[in-house]
């Protein structure tokens, strides 16, 4: 079977991350770099020994020898590029979030369906062995049910790296862009969302989107996701972070570094990490998982699906559903009212 040829559209941070992985991917090769900033496209081409670079993505997708278009451009152009690529008969791997709004995301999937090509949304945490171990443990009942997943993040300098991330019509802010991983994975782990309550605000003078928000997402299963995210702190400032899951039988920590008293736990073998469960009087238990490169495994899964004629590993429905929850959070934050589902549910995929 021939090696698939890939055009990477968007040569910035995620474009570089994907290009680095294609060097190791079996069955595909990144051969074209695209960016509206010519110097960036040229640099990616040279760094990864590609064949060509373009300023206009239409030139890349117009090439008959391109099989896959890997969309790493900013969120607000995802629909335009993905639809054009599908209509040109190219399979599409699109970085998260799928788009800024659900109707745009639906059009992306509809274009792929009409063309008979695969569309995959790069929700990479589904390939993170740590998060997958968490899912396995929660669904096994180690904490009992229902549970509450608490995710607290507050940073500035390193995230987001560019101002477009906090513009309402470009990146959508942290709930749409960053926390989309949590929204997707919570749905993957718990099932469909039932209702959302939220408060949002804007700290940064240069932001038009809500750069700070807290939300409670209740799932049909009775489980909760509690988010409190901010990209609004001054440069260099960082708030406390929390990423744990609590239930009637104990508390789960994604990392053995989460609590100082875990330092005495025996370290996992080389190449392994561990999720830690504190069950109180029943003791503290480590659950090992093999460390992996989630970006590499994600891209490999897509390439394998294309080559073998299998369904998309993460189809558009997953991207649409997580985006619908994000939009419901923003709506609830603006209105002060609870938003009730169904929130673009269906078969969890």
The domain spans of the chain are 4-125+294-314, 129-292+325-340
pLDDT at 186: 98
pLDDT at 160: 62
pLDDT at 38: 98
- Across the 349 residues of the chain, what is the mean pLDDT of every consecutive 10-residue run? 95 97 98 98 98 98 98 98 98 98 97 98 98 98 98 74 87 96 98 96 93 97 97 88 97 95 94 97 97 98 98 97 97 93 69
Rg (CA), the chain: 20
In the block, residue with structure tokens 């992306």: 108
pLDDT at 318: 97
H-helix or E-strand containing 328?
helix 316-335
Is the peptide bond prior to 146 cis by the omega test (within 30 degrees of 0)? Answer: yes
pTM of the model: 0.96
Encode pLDDT of 150-206 as tens digits: 999 998 654 565 789 999 999 999 999 999 999 999 999 999 999 999 999 999 999
Phi, psi of 76 (to 5 degrees): -70, -10
pLDDT at 347: 56
Burial zone of 261 (CB within 10 Å; 0-12 exposed, 13-18 middle, 19+ buried): exposed
CB neighbourhood size of 343 (10 A)? 26
pLDDT at 257: 92
Q: Assign domain 4-125+294-314 to its CATH superfamily.
A: NAD(P)-binding Rossmann-like Domain (3.40.50.720)
| Mean pLDDT for the chain overall | 95
pLDDT at 6: 98
pLDDT at 96: 98
CA gap 279, 79 in Å, rounded: 46
pLDDT at 15: 98
Encode pLDDT of 23-45 as tens digits: 999 999 999 999 999 999 999 99
Phi, psi of 165 (to 5 degrees): -60, -25
Give 129-292+325-340's CATH code, choosing from 3.30.470.20, 3.40.50.150, 1.10.3720.10, 3.30.360.10. Answer: 3.30.360.10
User: Which residue, 166, 95, 102, is CA-closest to 327?
Assistant: 102
pLDDT at 86: 98
CA gap 112, 48 in Å, rounded: 28
For 283: left if phi > 0, alpha if psi spans -120 to 50, otherwise beta; the answer is left
CA gap 278, 270 in Å, rounded: 23
């Amino acid at each position: 079977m021939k090696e698939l040829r890939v055009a990477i559209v968007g040569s910035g941070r995620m474009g570089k991350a994907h290009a680095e992985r294609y060097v190791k991917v079996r069955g595909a090769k990144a051969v074209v770099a695209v960016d509206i900033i010519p110097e960036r496209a040229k640099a990616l081409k040279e760094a990864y020994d590609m064949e060509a670079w373009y300023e206009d993505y239409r030139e890349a997708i117009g090439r008959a020898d391109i099989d896959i278009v890997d969309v790493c451009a900013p969120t607000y152009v995802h629909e335009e590029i993905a639809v054009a690529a599908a209509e040109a008969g190219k399979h599409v791997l699109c970085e998260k979030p799928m788009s800024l709004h659900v109707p745009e995301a639906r059009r992306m999937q509809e274009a792929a369906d009409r063309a008979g090509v695969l569309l995959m949304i790069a929700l990479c945490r589904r390939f993170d062995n740590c998060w997958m171990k968490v899912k396995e443990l929660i669904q096994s009942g180690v904490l009992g049910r229902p549970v509450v997943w608490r995710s607290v993040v507050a940073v500035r300098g390193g995230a987001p790296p560019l101002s477009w991330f906090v513009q309402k019509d470009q990146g959508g802010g942290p709930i749409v862009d960053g926390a989309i991983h949590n929204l997707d994975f919570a749905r993957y782990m718990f099932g469909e969302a039932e209702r959302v309550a939220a408060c949002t605000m804007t700290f940064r003078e240069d932001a038009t989107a809500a750069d700070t928000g807290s939300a409670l997402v209740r799932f049909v299963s009775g489980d909760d996701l509690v988010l409190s995210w901010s990209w609004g702190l001054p440069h260099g400032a960082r708030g406390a972070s929390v990423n744990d899951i609590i239930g009637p039988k104990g508390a789960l920590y994604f990392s053995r570094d989460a609590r100082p008293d875990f330092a005495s736990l025996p370290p996992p073998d080389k190449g392994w990490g561990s999720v830690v469960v504190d069950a109180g009087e029943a003791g503290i238990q480590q659950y090992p998982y093999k460390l992996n490169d989630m970006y590499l495994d994600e891209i490999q899964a897509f390439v394998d699906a294309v080559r073998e004629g299998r369904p998309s590993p993460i189809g558009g429905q997953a991207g649409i559903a997580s985006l619908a929850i994000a939009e419901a959070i923003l709506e609830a934050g603006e209105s002060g009212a609870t938003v009730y589902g169904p929130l673009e549910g269906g078969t969890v995929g």
